[in-house]
Amino acid sequence: MAARTLEFENLRRRKFMKINAKRITAVLMAAAMSVCATTAVFAASTTDTPVVDENHATADFQQKITYSKSESEIVPAYTVSIPLTAELQKESSTLSYSLALENDTAFVSSGKKVSVKIESAGYSGNLHTLAVWDSRNLQEAEYVIYNSDAFANPTYYTIGDEIASWDGSNFGTITRKIKLKDYYSVGAGNYNGVINYTVSLEDK
């Protein structure tokens, strides 16, 4: 009798384990289906073309926003061009000063200007005068710089003066004139000298 009772108990336990195993399998399958359904919904939410209809009244859509900013937009840069050589002649010749902005949207900040000043001028041993030097014949020739030939009383520039400036969106080329101070008093020879400039971004 005890043996039959034990056999019956073992049979009952095996059936219970089978039933529980089936239940666990069913739960796992349901969970897997739920994950797949969630994944499908998430994939649909990132579609490039959201579609709605009577059965699907709403649809999610995600838009990506990007922006790029160049270094020149953060710190606008300005390039000033000055010819390496200027030649004195019997008549006046032109000195050119050009400002180029680094991109189409750049401008000189409000309240600021790009300035070109004559820092010094002359020749070796004398950088305090607008003059050139003939080292062979040991003779000097002075010159003048002014704004234009169009004026009866032009504005003259000397050492320390601002010779060109730009502000706002005002940029391009500014011209000045240069010529010998007294052409007829200059002796024959080969003359050389320099003009040293300072270019700066400063308050107006």
Residue-wise pLDDT for 157-173, tens only, equals 999 999 999 998 878 89
Q: What is the pLDDT of residue 49?
A: 80
Mean per-residue pLDDT for 13-35? 46
77-203 CATH, one of 3.10.50, 2.60.40, 2.30.30, 1.20.1070: 2.60.40
Q: What is the pTM of this model?
A: 0.63
HEC string of the chain equals: CHHHHHHHHHHHHHHHHHHHHHHHHHHHHHHHHHHHHHHHHHHHHCCCCCCCCCCCCCCCCCCCCCCCCCHHHHCCCEEEECCCCCCCCCCCEEEEEEEEECCCCCCCCCCEEEEEEEEEEEECCECECCEEEECCCCEEEEEEEECCCCCCCCCEECCCCEEEEECCCCCEEEEEEEEECCHHHCCCCCCECEEEEEEEEEEC
Residue-wise pLDDT for 147-159, tens only, equals 998 888 999 999 9
Confidence of residue 92 (pLDDT cuts 50, 70, 90): very high
Per the model's pLDDT, the better-predicted residue between 189 and 107 turns out to be 189
* In the chain, domain spans: 1-52+59-66, 77-203
Per the model's pLDDT, the better-predicted residue between 11 and 59 turns out to be 59
